[in-house]
């Protein structure tokens, strides 16, 4: 009996030890699992919780960080372009210039964004250096940034429009937003679904933070690619992210006269214009910088409407008016077919130079731009812009290369006055935009007045007759 009791006691003690050891193991596993969960949650929060839910209205500019790729060699010749668009937002301190080395001449502190020199940047291939601007921009750790926007020093940015465009998207998700090239050949050479870097592109903050962490290894795998934009595109592809296209970002892979593009801009908000050095001044009677400064007089009053095309017909079918707001008004004799007016006039030359430029193809419909100025519509360029309590008055004055014989109905006009309400799109209108209508409200012997307004539900923009 004693042995039986002793054996029972030993067995009981052994079972207690096993239960206690098992409990310790379970506790250790649970603790490790909890620590792993907390660690993973912390990693997730690093890329997601810094931004609240997307706003219902236009995104404030201080939530955007603008990163401009430049160099010590180009900054002085292009500083004037940067000042034009940066001056209105200089107080925000969310724009930075990324250079390979300090500029040879000091820049006035208040005239340009802060300059960032990346370590060993001058020893790297230019494509590698500019691609790493993504990592350098994230490393600045500026608080409250929802989007990182990238462009070049010869890119004109329309910052408030970019903010409006990005307001359509949830900045807590992974977004890569931009547009491809106007040139079929350029897209074919690189990628049709790549955002061209000069035209600018935007990356949401959580995606930018992840991309910054994996960028160096990815760039090493893609060192054979020519440009920074192709490398960034490839790295984002490796992360499983595709391009979200916004037509307002313009690479401007064309040369010469941009009138045909700017006078028939699509409904998308104007976000950027690249290659300022490769095209003629927007206003032929001014220098490049003067033209941009003149344009921004209108941009400052109603940025969302800049270059938005509106077409109207007079009651007697004598003239057709096409207004590219803040830029130019064209007056045609008689009724003109609307789809024709919405296509681009080929006033520009292909980006590619050489013997076969005539065979160059573009990513949009085009119409003839007569070599003879007298066969073109009468063009009135922006002269002044004034805002009142109800909207904006823009005035356009007549410009012709030479004296041309015109029909009497349009020969008399010297000035076009356009009234428009300030654009206040809500997010739903941004997602499904509709072109505005206009009416010729009055005219005199020398001037014509156009009033832009929202179209009625059943109203057509159609020829009279």
Mind listing the pLDDT tens digit for each residue in 288-327? 999 999 999 999 999 999 999 999 999 888 899 999 999 9
In a domain, 18, yes or no: no
Q: Which residue has the higher pLDDT, 26 or 307?
A: 307
Residue 365's pLDDT band (boundaries 50, 70, 90)? Answer: confident
Lowest mean per-residue pLDDT among 29-33, 96-100, 155-159: 29-33
Which of 181, 216, 250 is at the close of a domain? 250
- Same-domain status, 219 and 310: no
Q: Which residue has the higher pLDDT, 97 or 409?
A: 97
**Per-residue pLDDT, 172:** 97
- Same-domain status, 242 and 308: no
Domain that holds residue 422: 302-453
**Per-residue pLDDT, 106:** 66
Separate counts of helices (H) and strands (E) for the chain: 13, 22
pLDDT at 110 over 80: no
- Same-domain status, 227 and 311: no
In a domain, 3, yes or no: no
pLDDT at 344 over 90: yes
Q: Which residue has the higher pLDDT, 323 or 423?
A: 323
**Per-residue pLDDT, 52:** 58
- Same-domain status, 167 and 310: no
**Per-residue pLDDT, 440:** 92
Could you tell me if 166 and 59 are in contact, meaning their C-beta atoms sit under 8 angstroms apart?
yes
- Same-domain status, 219 and 323: no
**Per-residue pLDDT, 358:** 60
pLDDT at 353 over 80: no
Q: How far is C-alpha 178 from the chain's CA centre? A: 6
In a domain, 10, yes or no: no
- Same-domain status, 326 and 402: yes
Q: How far is C-alpha 140 from the chain's CA centre? A: 22
pLDDT at 45 over 50: no
Any residues with CB less than 8 A from the CB of 415 and at least 6 apart, and which?
Answer: 380, 383, 395, 396, 397, 398, 446, 447, 448
pLDDT at 404 over 90: no
In a domain, 465, yes or no: no
Determine the Cα–Cα distance for residues 188 and 332; give it in Å rounded to an integer. 37
- Same-domain status, 189 and 325: no
Query: Mean per-residue pLDDT for 9-18?
Result: 45
In a domain, 50, yes or no: no
For residue 69, give the CATH number of its domain: 3.90.550.50
In a domain, 261, yes or no: no
Determine the Cα–Cα distance for residues 439 and 453; give it in Å rounded to an integer. 8
> Per DSSP, what are the bridge partners of residue 392?
387, 420
What are 196-220's pLDDT values in tens digits? 999 999 999 999 999 999 999 999 8
Could you tell me if 153 and 74 are in contact, meaning their C-beta atoms sit under 8 angstroms apart?
yes
Determine the Cα–Cα distance for residues 177 and 155; give it in Å rounded to an integer. 16
**Per-residue pLDDT, 17:** 43
Determine the Cα–Cα distance for residues 162 and 443; give it in Å rounded to an integer. 36
- Same-domain status, 220 and 322: no
In a domain, 287, yes or no: no
Determine the Cα–Cα distance for residues 422 and 418; give it in Å rounded to an integer. 12
pLDDT at 143 over 50: yes
Mean pLDDT of the chain: 86
| Number of domain units in the chain | 2
Which of 250, 284, 316 is at the close of a domain? 250
**Per-residue pLDDT, 48:** 43
What is the percentage of the chain residues whose pLDDT exceeds 70? 84
Q: Which residue has the higher pLDDT, 18 or 342?
A: 342
In a domain, 407, yes or no: yes
- Same-domain status, 246 and 319: no
pTM value? 0.86
Q: Which residue has the higher pLDDT, 272 or 33?
A: 272
Residue 10's pLDDT band (boundaries 50, 70, 90)? Answer: very low
Could you tell me if 277 and 154 are in contact, meaning their C-beta atoms sit under 8 angstroms apart?
yes
Give, as one character, the DSSP assignment of residue 64: E
Lowest mean per-residue pLDDT among 105-119, 151-165, 341-355, 376-390: 105-119
Determine the Cα–Cα distance for residues 338 and 294; give it in Å rounded to an integer. 29
- Same-domain status, 191 and 328: no
Could you tell me if 395 and 360 are in contact, meaning their C-beta atoms sit under 8 angstroms apart?
no
- Same-domain status, 231 and 349: no
- Same-domain status, 157 and 241: yes
What are 59-79's pLDDT values in tens digits? 999 999 999 999 999 999 999
């Amino acid at each position: 009996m004693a042995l039986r009791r002793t054996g029972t006691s030993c067995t009981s003690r052994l079972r207690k030890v096993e239960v206690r050891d098992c409990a310790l193991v379970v506790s250790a596993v649970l603790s490790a699992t909890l620590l792993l969960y907390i660690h993973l949650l912390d990693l997730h929060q690093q890329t997601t919780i810094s931004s609240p839910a997307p706003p219902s209205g236009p995104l404030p500019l201080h939530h955007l960080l603008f990163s401009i790729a430049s160099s010590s060699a180009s900054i002085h010749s292009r500083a004037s372009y940067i000042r034009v668009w940066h001056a209105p937002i200089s107080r925000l301190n969310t724009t930075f210039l990324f250079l390979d080395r300090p500029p040879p001449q000091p820049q006035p502190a208040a005239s340009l964004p802060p300059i960032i020199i990346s370590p060993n940047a001058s020893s790297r291939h230019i494509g590698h250096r500019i691609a790493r601007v993504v990592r350098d921009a994230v490393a600045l750790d500026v608080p409250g940034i929802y989007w990182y926007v990238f462009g070049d020093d010869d890119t004109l940015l329309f910052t408030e429009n970019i903010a409006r465009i990005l307001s359509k998207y949830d900045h807590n998700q992974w977004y890569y937003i931009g547009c491809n090239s106007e040139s079929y050949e350029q897209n074919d050479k690189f990628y049709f679904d790549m955002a061209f870097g000069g035209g600018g592109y935007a990356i949401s903050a959580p995606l930018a933070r992840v991309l910054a962490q994996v960028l160096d290894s990815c760039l090493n795998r893609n060192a054979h690619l020519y440009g920074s934009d192709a490398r960034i595109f490839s790295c984002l592809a490796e992360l499983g992210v595709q391009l979200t296209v916004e037509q307002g970002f313009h690479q401007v892979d064309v040369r010469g006269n941009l009138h045909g593009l700017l006078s028939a801009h699509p409904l998308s908000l104007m976000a950027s214009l690249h290659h300022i050095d490769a095209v003629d001044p927007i206003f032929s009677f001014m220098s490049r910088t003067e033209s941009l400064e003149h344009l921004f007089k209108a941009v400052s009053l109603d940025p969302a409407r800049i270059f938005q095309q509106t077409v109207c017909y007079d009651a007697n079918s004598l003239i057709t008016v096409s207004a590219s707001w803040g830029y130019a008004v064209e007056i045609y004799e008689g009724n003109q077919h609307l789809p024709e007016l919405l296509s681009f006039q080929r006033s520009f030359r292909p980006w590619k130079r050489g013997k076969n430029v005539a065979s160059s193809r573009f990513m949009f419909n085009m119409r003839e731009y007569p070599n003879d100025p007298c066969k073109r519509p009468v063009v009135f360029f922006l002269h002044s812009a004034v805002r009142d309590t109800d909207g904006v008055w823009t005035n356009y004055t007549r410009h012709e290369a030479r004296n041309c014989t015109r029909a009497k109905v349009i020969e008399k006009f010297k000035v076009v006055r356009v009234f428009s309400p300030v654009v206040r799109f809500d997010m739903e209108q941004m997602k499904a935009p509709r072109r505005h209508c206009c009416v010729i409200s009055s005219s005199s012997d020398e001037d014509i007045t156009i009033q832009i307004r929202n179209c009625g539900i059943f109203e057509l923009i159609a020829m009279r007759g």
